[in-house]
């Protein structure tokens, strides 16, 4: 087997943001499908519902609304959701599944009363498909429902890099300096702010997006582009790139609007335009590029340009909304420069500017990134650790401002301290642990080469026998039911 298959999530290294799902399995007593709910008031005895600080529950009334959260775990064909008991007097539960929050709903399990919560496994599902769940609690006096919560099964193809290419039309007033944010799903959000002039007329730029909540192709639920402010912006085209390298861009979705003022997509609040543009999940998956996407092998090498682009994306997103700190005047090769200190340490230099009453000093923000790896026995995950340290801002004042102050040294000390606090407030915590699933013994060793390239070396220790495999608990058997029930 190709050793690259063991690092399908490693490339989130430089995005420094991974949402990890933990798996747990719960149990409950299941009633055979078709069992008639008990309507005997004497059977509705308290059994310890999870009230969670709610007012005392009265007997002789319908049960409190249950809750569904999750997913606890998921694969291409399974979803495990967490069911929460919130009543003392329910006589049973019915779990429903449907394709959307509006149904139609089908009963997939009947359950006896339970206390607290348990994890419910649902299997036999289709890959990259949304499934919605709703839980009904009942007793002799009525019924109550949880809200419908929807989750998607995995696609089975890991995501280690996502980029958005935006071309601003080359027409009058098409460019903008307003803030723009992009979302790929609920928890994922990136404020696009690179050091160069973003969204200028005729500009064609590709931006790295943060990977919060995105580790599988199924996690890309939609593309949502929102612009703040009143300055008009007209997009000629957009493209979503997944798992690309600079030398091998891979578009998974593309949309052309037009190159003229009458055909490009205006995003503003004037003339009936919207301040956002959204591409739906179904629209993306219907695109020929999405349907013909071939997953590349996970890379074991990250070149300097890619590392710097990802760091620039992270810092630009972190600078959004921070008063007094913004990208600086370009000094050197780029706004973000990475150099090698040793095989496990990179030094990063970032050009910023501080907006202060006395002056607007350039700020050179310097910090170190240290990389370390771990080994897996085939049951525990690998870990790639990234630690940021030695964060040091240095303010560079114009000599005339320094001389005119008459208090050069005092001014420098006070303002640099002020700049340091400003930068630290804007700077994200880059210390991360990346978890990598492994189903056989394997070790990972990161190496920063003299070319400022990060290489990930894998080694496979001898096992002396059959490699261990992951094990899990026994899941309760779910007996499916047929038929569709309508719920209001």
CA angle 158, 388, 335 (to 5 degrees): 85
Q: What is the pLDDT of residue 211?
A: 87
Long-range Cβ contact pairs of 251-254 (< 8 A, separation 24 or more): 251/165, 251/289, 252/284, 252/287, 252/289, 252/290, 252/293, 253/223, 253/279, 253/284, 253/287, 253/289, 253/290, 254/287, 254/289
Mean pLDDT value of segment 92-105: 94
Task: Say if strands 92-98 and 106-111 run parallel, antiparallel, or are unpaired.
Answer: antiparallel
CA distances in angstroms from 207 to 308, 432, 460, listed in the order given: 12, 22, 36
Alpha-carbon gap, residue 157 to 292, rounded angstroms: 13
Nearest Cα neighbor of 96 from 24, 33, 29, 139 is 33
Q: What is the pLDDT of residue 162?
A: 95
Q: What is the pLDDT of residue 430?
A: 60
Alpha-carbon gap, residue 139 to 429, rounded angstroms: 50
| 292 secondary structure, DSSP code | T
Q: Which CATH superfamily is domain 32-152 in?
A: Immunoglobulins (2.60.40.10)
pLDDT at 477 exceeding the cut of 50? no
Write the pLDDT tens digit of every residue in 190-223: 999 998 889 999 999 999 998 888 889 999 999 9
Mean pLDDT value of segment 155-170: 93
Q: What is the pLDDT of residue 294?
A: 93
pTM reported for the whole predicted model:
0.76
CA dihedral 319, 20, 367, 179 (to 10 degrees): -10
Mean pLDDT value of segment 220-242: 95
Mean pLDDT value of segment 273-281: 94
Q: What is the pLDDT of residue 170?
A: 97
Nearest Cα neighbor of 367 from 342, 347, 344 is 347
Least confident of 139-148, 339-348, 352-361: 352-361
Write the pLDDT tens digit of every residue in 110-133: 999 988 998 999 999 999 999 999
Nearest Cα neighbor of 433 from 447, 423, 444, 441 is 444
Portions of the chain given CATH number 2.60.60.20: 159-297
Contact 365, 352 (CB under 8 A): yes
Alpha-carbon gap, residue 109 to 128, rounded angstroms: 23
Q: What is the pLDDT of residue 320?
A: 84
Contact 41, 140 (CB under 8 A): yes
Q: What is the pLDDT of residue 45?
A: 38
Nearest Cα neighbor of 365 from 410, 311, 401 is 311
pLDDT higher at 376 or 84: 84
CA angle 223, 262, 167 (to 5 degrees): 40
Write the pLDDT tens digit of every residue in 306-318: 989 988 998 888 8
CA angle 342, 344, 345 (to 5 degrees): 65
Select the CATH number that applies to the domain covering 159-297 from these four: 3.40.366.10, 3.40.50.2300, 2.130.10.10, 2.60.60.20: 2.60.60.20
Alpha-carbon gap, residue 91 to 113, rounded angstroms: 6
Q: What is the pLDDT of residue 393?
A: 72
Write the pLDDT tens digit of every residue in 405-419: 444 445 455 555 655
Q: What is the pLDDT of residue 53?
A: 53
């Amino acid at each position: 087997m190709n050793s690259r298959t063991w690092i399908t999530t490693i490339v989130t290294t430089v995005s420094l943001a991974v949402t990890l799902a933990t798996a747990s399995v719960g149990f409950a007593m299941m009633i055979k499908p078709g069992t008639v709910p008990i309507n005997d008031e004497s059977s509705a005895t308290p059994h310890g519902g999870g009230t969670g600080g709610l007012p005392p529950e009265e007997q002789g009334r319908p049960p409190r609304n249950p809750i569904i959260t999750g997913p606890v775990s998921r694969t291409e064909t399974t979803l495990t959701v967490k069911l929460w008991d919130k009543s003392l007097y329910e006589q049973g539960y019915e779990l429903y599944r449907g394709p959307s929050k509006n149904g139609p709903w089908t009963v997939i399990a009947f359950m006896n009363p339970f206390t607290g919560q348990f994890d419910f496994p649902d299997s036999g599902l289709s890959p990259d498909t949304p499934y919605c769940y709703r839980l009904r609690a009942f007793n002799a006096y009525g019924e109550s429902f949880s809200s419908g919560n929807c989750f998607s099964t995995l696609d089975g193809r890991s995501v280690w890099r996502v980029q958005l290419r935006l071309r601003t039309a080359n027409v009058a007033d098409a460019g903008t300096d307003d803030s723009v944010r992009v979302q790929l799903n609920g928890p994922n959000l990136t404020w696009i702010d690179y050091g160069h002039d973003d969204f200028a007329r005729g500009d064609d730029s590709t931006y790295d997006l943060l990977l919060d909540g995105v580790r599988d192709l199924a996690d890309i639920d939609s593309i949502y582009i929102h612009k703040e402010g009143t300055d008009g912006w007209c997009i000629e085209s957009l493209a979503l790139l997944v798992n690309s390298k600079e030398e091998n861009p891979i578009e998974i979705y593309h949309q052309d609007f037009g190159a003229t003022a009458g055909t490009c997509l205006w995003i503003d609040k004037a003339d009936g335009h919207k301040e956002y543009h959204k591409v739906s999940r179904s629209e993306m998956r219907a695109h020929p590029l999405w349907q013909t996407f071939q997953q590349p092998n996970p890379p074991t090498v990250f070149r300097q340009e890619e590392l710097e682009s990802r760091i620039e994306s992270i810092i630009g997103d972190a600078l959004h909304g921070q008063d007094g700190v913004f990208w600086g005047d370009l000094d050197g090769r780029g706004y973000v420069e990475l150099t090698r200190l040793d095989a496990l340490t990179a030094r990063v230099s970032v050009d910023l500017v501080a907006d202060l009453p006395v002056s607007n000093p350039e700020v050179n923000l310097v910090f170190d990134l240290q990389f370390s790896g771990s080994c897996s026995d085939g049951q525990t995950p690998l870990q790639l650790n990234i630690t940021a340290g030695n964060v040091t801002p240095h303010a560079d004042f114009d000599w005339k401002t320094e001389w005119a102050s008459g208090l050069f040294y005092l001014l420098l000390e006070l303002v640099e301290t002020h700049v340091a606090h400003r930068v630290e407030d804007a700077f994200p915590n880059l210390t991360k642990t990346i978890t990598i699933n492994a189903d056989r013994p394997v070790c990972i060793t990161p190496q920063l080469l003299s070319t400022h390239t990060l290489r990930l070396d894998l080694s496979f220790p001898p096992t002396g026998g059959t490699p261990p495999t992951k094990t899990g608990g026994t899941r309760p058997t779910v007996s499916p039911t047929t038929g569709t029930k309508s719920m209001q």
